[in-house]
Amino acid sequence: MTHFTVSCLLVALFLCQSLVHAAYNGYYGYSPAAAPYPAEEPQNIMNPVDSCWRLKSDWDVNREDLADCAVGFGSSTLGGKKGNIYVVTNPYDNAQNPHPGSLRYGVIQAKPLWITFAKDMVITLANELMVNSYKTIDGRGAKVEIAYGPCITIQDVTNVIVHGISIHDCKPGKSGKVRSSPTHVGHRKGSDGDAITIFGSSNVWIDHCYLASCTDGLIDVIHASTAITISNNYFTQHDKVMLLGHNDNFVKDVKMKVTVAFNHFGPGLVERMPRVRRGYAHVANNRYDKWIMYAIGGSADPTIFSEGNYFIASDKSYSKEVTKREVKGGWNNWRWRTSNDVFKNGAFFVPSGYGSIPLPYSSAQRFTVAPGNLVPSLTADAGPLNCNRNGPCY
């Protein structure tokens, strides 16, 4: 099959999806004959994650179907799919001895759980929230915020989904005892003030969250964490947004594989969207609005494949470049590639290395990456959705 034929099939797929979604919402104004691709203003189309579940009116009674919708390196993440539903009924938090009905009591359990919320709530944690394996934190149907205290730590565990919550104004954790399972309370030295820290963990999916204004990073993926997907999130008002890789000397991060897709990197962001060390980052179909320093950076010879993104540079002449490399020696052999990206307001990407960059996806991890001009549509609903029971999520 030729490259031209594949491109035509991709265009046909997205036009078809656009018309189906438009019909659902009573919108018939778009004519596919008007242009080879839809206009860059948002249209009624959905990305592959959302189209898997969002239009189903029975999502509330089949919440665990969400786990089948992840794409990329974290696509096999189960979360609490094979467990019971646990309902958070109050925002109260006790770091050492959590009470039934609290969020912490649910996330530390040894068995798989799908965690939901009985009502809107703002949870200010007493100390960092240690999430155990096989957990889903699912905010759909309520307005849930974790804010104004320490936030989420995913450490040395596997199969965790965090979906549909707002995490903002996170503060450093205190030195002290924190419960991480029903049988273990450990002494913690104090967290850094990240919104989400993923440390030595695998099969993690962060989807449709709002992240902003924390003391340190918004999402850190460190200490050989791998099989991670970060999708459909809205990031805003922060300096160091996303770090992938512990430090330049931590060689075990070479195993790290992270998919960053369908996110909206909104106003007021300075750098690290993401910043990558050693591992492999597939950065696909994200929207970037006027970063202050740079958008995608790295050090220690990472591999970065930027595909189908939509970059809008700031008006400042010194922040037009998408890329930044932190290096004492040369970087010409580092493999950084751009494909089907859209560059606005003078934005530009500096590639490096030789040859193509094969995506190390299995067949189950692969997903269709749209041309960059579709990104305003594909990311239009980034962040927590408005989900009412007995109807689709908007």
Q: Distance (Å, rounded) from C-alpha 345 to C-alpha 315?
A: 7
pLDDT of residue 41: 56
Query: pTM of this prediction?
Result: 0.90
pLDDT in tens, 15-52: 333 333 333 232 222 222 223 334 455 567 899 999 99
Three-state DSSP at 19 gives helix
325: left (phi over 0), alpha (psi -120 to 50) or beta: beta
Token reading at 77: 């993440």
Burial of residue 20, with CB atoms counted within 10 A of its CB: 0-12 exposed, 13-18 middle, 19 or more buried = middle
Give, for 23, the enclosing helix (H) or strand (E). Answer: helix 3-24
More confident residue, 372 or 2: 372
Token reading at 385: 């959705």
Q: Distance (Å, rounded) from C-alpha 372 to C-alpha 383?
A: 20
Which residue type is seen at 311?
A: F
> What's the CATH superfamily of 72-326+333-353+362-379?
Single-stranded right-handed beta-helix, Pectin lyase-like (2.160.20.10)
Strand partners, 240: 271
Q: Residues comprising the binding site for Ca(2+)?
A: 192, 216, 220
Three-state DSSP at 277 gives strand
Q: Contact 256/244 with Cβ under 8 angstroms?
A: yes
pLDDT in tens, 174-217: 999 999 999 999 999 999 999 999 999 999 999 999 999 999 99
Tell me what the pLDDT averaged over the chain comes to: 90
* Active site members: 272
- Please name which of 354, 352, 357 lies closest in space to residue 332, comparing C-alpha atoms: 352
pLDDT of residue 44: 75
**Above pLDDT 90, what percent of the chain?**
86
